[in-house]
Homo-oligomer: A and B are copies of this chain.
């Protein structure tokens, strides 16, 4: 029963669909080709217990770093589709898991988040993941509406 609910969530949520698309777009060897969308997103879900077990002394895992990139790329893609503005993404992360995630269009910072403990990146459920993504998309769109000159600036 729970699984059926999750199935619908991923299939019907535009942000999660975008995230699946971003991950699959980088799947050059077709590893995920036969995977269901839920499985593709499985590693974005990290429980609190799991987070406590991740050592912050270790360097940032490249797979985690990629998931962070996909997450912000999905946000940028959604903002782009809804605003018509070309968005760029930059992720500046130290090995210690500190840094910045930035999305911009024109001269406007659309999303700017400082990251810490990036080793533990993940959300406690798919619905929380969708929620957080949608929140950042909405705040980015609001900022574009608020500063149209900087967003269009060239």
Contacts and interface: CB of A to CB of B under 8 A. Distances in A.
Contacts of A104: 102, 109, 112
Number of copies: 2
Nearest to A153: B147
Interface of A is mostly: strand
Interface of A: 88, 90-92, 99-100, 102, 104, 106-109, 112, 143, 146-147, 149-150, 153
A24 B149 CA distance: 39
Give 6 nearest A-B pairs by CB, closest first. Answer: A150-B150, A90-B92, A90-B100, A147-B150, A107-B109, A92-B92
A53 B108 CA distance: 38
Contacts of A149: 147, 149-150
Nearest to A151: B150
Nearest to A106: B109
A94 to B, nearest CB: 11
Nearest to A146: B153
Nearest to A104: B109
Nearest to A112: B104
Contact of A150 (B91, B92, B102, B107): B107
A95 to B, nearest CB: 11
